Amino acid sequence: MPEPAFLLDGMLGSLARWLRMIGYDSVYVRDAADGDLLGMLGNRSLLTRDRQLAQRAGPRGFYLESDVLDDQLSAVMERFGLSLEREGTRCTACNGELEKVDKEAVRGRVPEGTWSVHQEFWLCSRCGKAYWHGAHWKNIRQRLDRITEGPGNSPR
């Protein structure tokens, strides 16, 4: 069974970044007419806050009731059976696949303090952005763990 892939409309940019962070192919389209979005679907599921657009997408449409990011992510994870245990992740900026690289590959591309402290780095195969598990990673993991614990755990 193929991995879920998503097309997100202009109201869901933050959700697209978080889906990418956990490794799911998520194309975010900021400004497009409904018909254009529907034409881009292909094998993707459309995530939207527009109930009528979700209905027009048929079984490929998924309407997100909440405008709270944690609730949105939880709903998508439940509906599509998404896992947080994925090996690969995607670039939060462009959706490109991240590739683990040798530390030397990022010398001069990341702050010197970061380079000297961390041993593992990833580069986006599309835009070249560098990633590492910095201090923010603990907060990201805690938020994802809280989301997967169930409804009612999202900060408002």
Percentage, residues of the chain above pLDDT 70: 93
R_g (Cα) of the chain, nearest Å: 17
pLDDT tens profile 96-146: 999 999 999 999 999 999 999 999 999 999 999 999 988 888 888 888 888
pLDDT tens profile 31-44: 999 999 999 999 99
Query: At residue 15, what are phi and psi to the nearest 5 degrees?
Result: -65, -40
Q: How far is Cα 24 from Cα 91, in angstroms, rounded to an integer?
A: 10
pLDDT score for 135: 81
Least reliable range by pLDDT among 35-44, 62-71, 86-95 = 86-95
pLDDT score for 42: 94
Q: Are 5 and 26 a contacting pair, CB within 8 Å?
A: yes
Q: How far is Cα 44 from Cα 37, in angstroms, rounded to an integer?
A: 11
pLDDT score for 83: 84
Q: How far is Cα 67 from Cα 140, in angstroms, rounded to an integer?
A: 19
Mean pLDDT of the chain: 91
Q: In what order do the strands lie in the sheet with 26-28?
A: 26-28, 6-8, 45-48, 61-63
Which position has the higher pLDDT, 54 or 22? 54
Is the confidence at residue 147, as pLDDT, over 60? yes
pLDDT, mean of residues 1-23: 93
- Per the rule left: phi > 0, alpha: psi between -120 and 50, beta: everything else, 152 is left
What are the structural domain ranges in the chain? 6-89
Residue closest to 62 by CA, chosen among 75, 74, 77, 46: 46
pLDDT score for 118: 95
Give the other-Cβ count within 10 Å of 145's Cβ: 11
